[in-house]
Amino acid sequence: MSLTNFRALGRSGLVVSPLALGTMTFGPGGWNADEAASREIFDAYRDAGGNFVDTADIYSGGASEELVGRFIRETGSRDDIVLATKFGFNASSSPLTGVACGGGNPHAGGAGSKNIHRALDASLTRLGTDHVDIYWMHIWDGVTPVEEIVQTLGDLVRAGKIRHYAFSDMPAWVAMKASTIASERRVPGPIAMQVEYSLVAREVEAEHFPAARDGGMGVMPWSPLAGGFLTGKYDRENTADTGRLSGANPFGDSKFTDRNWAILDTLREVAAECDCEPAQAALAWAMARPGVASTLVGARTVDQLKGNIAAASISLSDDQMSRLNNVSASTPGFTSSLASPMIRRMLYGGHEITAWGE
């Protein structure tokens, strides 16, 4: 596989690379890449044939969008690139923008129509373009009715300011409800889901993956290397690499658990068998999972990115996939047991029935 093994993103005509370039590291910030390093990363991704670039209004307080827009203009690549950005986090007051929470404008965040229009206009200005190809709801706000979100984003598709929209970080039922409303009303619906997914974070397989399959949404994993943990650069005895996990983790959780070290042990074994880096084996695993359309790679340096892109040419054997699947399996939740082979045999007179799409 290579980055030019394009595939449709969800039930849509938008064709994307199997690895998408995440640009959360672009711009000023503690564990980020400066402009020169960001340009090198962007160029290396393009040179490898990649066409899918993902940013957000919140990354580096808008600087990531500005850099991505500049690189696209410099390379004259707007028509080639599938450009995605996101709205949702508050632009006036949020710990993520470095501005303390409190006293901010409530209409500068969330998924209400008023904020979506404001956020998109600001993103288009920073990106220097008149449309984005995918507009992501970055995070569910728990407040705005799904009907309002579908109406607003569908109207923006019709207005030509966005080509498609998609959801990130939401309960599966929210994406499914949006998809159902859209198909019943014959209006544009979400085409993809962006969720945390890696060997150490597989909870979304229970509800999100089946919803994505049923709703025609491609799954796009973020943090497929668990923020650097699955590169193998940290170990049990020494977690003090200079990478982002050694400082305060902005995502709030620690990757350094006994379960995760055990997963890393198996990953290291598999990587050694393939004569590749653990990061490449971890990405190859994510890319090979059913339902995954395009996997987001993040990098702070161009060398990291080049190593990660090489994962596209690695394919794991069935035995290697199943060892990784077994060591990283999540505790089954209530709904997982409902579709188990045993229950299906009980329902279908002892026969093994394969459902459509399995």
Ligand X SMILES: NC(=O)c1ccc[n+]([C@@H]2O[C@H](COP(=O)([O-])OP(=O)(O)OC[C@H]3O[C@@H](n4cnc5c(N)ncnc54)[C@H](OP(=O)(O)O)[C@@H]3O)[C@@H](O)[C@H]2O)c1
Minimum Å distance from CB 20 to ligand X?
8
For ligand X, the binding residue among 224, 284, 285, 316 (CB under 6 A) is: 224
Measured CA to CA, the distance from residue 124 to residue 103 in angstroms comes to 26
Q: Which residues between 85 and 144 bind ligand X (CB under 6 A)?
A: 138
Q: Which residues between 20 and 49 bind ligand X (CB under 6 A)?
A: 22-25, 31
| Helix, strand, coil share (%) of the chain residues, nearest 5 | 45, 15, 40
Tell me the Cα Rg of the chain: 20
Minimum Å distance from CB 9 to ligand X?
15
Measured CA to CA, the distance from residue 358 to residue 335 in angstroms comes to 17
Looking at the chain, list the stretches that DSSP marks H as alpha helix, in order from N- to C-terminal side. 35-47, 63-75, 113-127, 146-158, 172-185, 204-215, 258-274, 278-288, 302-309, 318-328, 334-338, 341-347
DSSP states of 310-333 as a string? GGGG----HHHHHHHHHHHPPPP-
Segment lying near ligand X (by CB under 6 A), choices 127-135, 207-215, 300-308, 341-349: 300-308
Contact 320, 273 (CB under 8 A): yes
What burial class does residue 215 get, using C-beta atoms within 10 Å of its C-beta: 0-12 exposed, 13-18 middle, 19+ buried? buried
For ligand X, the binding residue among 45, 50, 52, 54 (CB under 6 A) is: 54
Measured CA to CA, the distance from residue 46 to residue 319 in angstroms comes to 33
Contact 321, 288 (CB under 8 A): yes
Segment lying near ligand X (by CB under 6 A), choices 3-11, 18-26, 93-101, 146-154: 18-26
For ligand X, the binding residue among 227, 309, 320, 328 (CB under 6 A) is: 227
Q: What is the DSSP letter of 292?
A: B
Residue (98 or 247) nearer to ligand X, CB: 247
Segment lying near ligand X (by CB under 6 A), choices 65-73, 107-115, 180-188, 221-229: 221-229
208 makes contact with ligand X (CB under 6 A): no
226 makes contact with ligand X (CB under 6 A): yes
Segment lying near ligand X (by CB under 6 A), choices 120-128, 146-154, 200-208, 296-304: 296-304
Q: Is 348 a catalytic residue?
A: no
Residue (31 or 256) nearer to ligand X, CB: 31
Residues at the interface with ligand X (CB under 6 A): 22-25, 31, 54, 138, 168-169, 194, 222-228, 231, 233, 243-244, 279, 296-300, 304, 307-308
